[in-house]
Amino acid sequence: MQETTPLGRELRRRRKGAGMTQEGLAAATGLERSYVARIESGGVATLSEERATTMAKVIGIGLDELRSLAEQSQSEYRLPCLGVTERHRLVGAMLEERWNHLGDVQMEQIEKTVRDSMPEVVRPEPTAFGRMLQEKRLAKQLAQQAVAKAIGVSRSYVSMVEGGVELCLPAASIPLLAGVLDVDRQTLEDLVLPNNAHVLRMRGCSDAARAAAFALQERWTTLGLEPLTCIESIVAGSVTALVDN
């Protein structure tokens, strides 16, 4: 379980100080209780301007102070399923660019290394968004294919989202999915958009190759290696050495 953020800690402190439950705060701000809970637990690191203004009035905090807490929280926000912070995001973007130039043979070597050494990374845990999608879909007795057709993606894509392999959803699909599942669009965006903004986008790579990046990011922190050095090592075909050492 991820640790909470400065925003989450302060919100919980002020809510309890006012003798309010999460349900009470949700009702006073027009939010869902689950959303308040996610902020307090660190699962949400941002607030829209409208929500920040409302929240500030209800809990008795200055809007500028609340914005500052949200900014601090974003820097500490741990990327869904990855266990790495926002500070690593740009490293992922650079890694994507390098991977676009890798050949099939190099990609196969990366996949084999990850599958042999870190199978648990290739099989990630579902995200809050993935769990919600599956729960709502099953409650409405909808097949993955039906949801996929309604929102303009493939059935396998829906399956990957529910399983935590795919963390993003095309922006155009969000309002469509909200209608299919009969959920509030803003609530859905709160679950999806952090993934869209923060996940390391390895487009053009297989799931295993993408997982290699996630695994290597933890190695960078553990080994104290400079991110660019690791990126160059991947391009040079040194993935095995980095993972095994």
Give the model confidence (pLDDT) of 131-173 as tens digits: 889 999 999 999 999 999 999 888 888 887 887 666 667 778 8
Residues 160 and 53 in one domain: no
Residues 168 and 230 in one domain: no
Residues 181 and 136 in one domain: yes
Residues 16 and 71 in one domain: yes
Rounded distance between C-alpha atoms, residue 128 and residue 114, angstroms: 25
Query: What is the b/e burial string over 172-192, where b = at least 16 CB atoms within 10 angstroms of the residue's CB?
Result: ebbebbbebbebeeeebbbbb
Residues 41 and 137 in one domain: no
Query: What is the b/e burial string over 122-131, where b = at least 16 CB atoms within 10 angstroms of the residue's CB?
Result: bebebbbbbe
Whether residue 82 is contained in a domain is answered as no
Helix (H, G, I), strand (E, B) or coil at 78: strand
Q: What is the pLDDT of residue 85?
A: 39
CATH of the domain at 165: 1.10.260.40
Residues 112 and 207 in one domain: yes
Residues 114 and 52 in one domain: no
Q: Is 105 or 130 the better-scoring residue by pLDDT?
A: 130
Chain CA centroid to CA 149, Å? 24
Whether residue 56 is contained in a domain is answered as yes
The burial of 89, by beta-carbon neighbours within 10 Å (0-12 exposed, 13-18 middle, 19 or more buried), is given as middle
Q: How far apart are the first and last CA of the chain?
A: 27
**What residue has token string 């390895």?**
202
The answer, as to whether pTM is greater than 0.85, is no
Which domain range does residue 194 map to?
128-198
Residues 14 and 54 in one domain: yes
Instruction: Domain count for the chain, please give it.
Output: 3
Whether residue 59 is contained in a domain is answered as yes
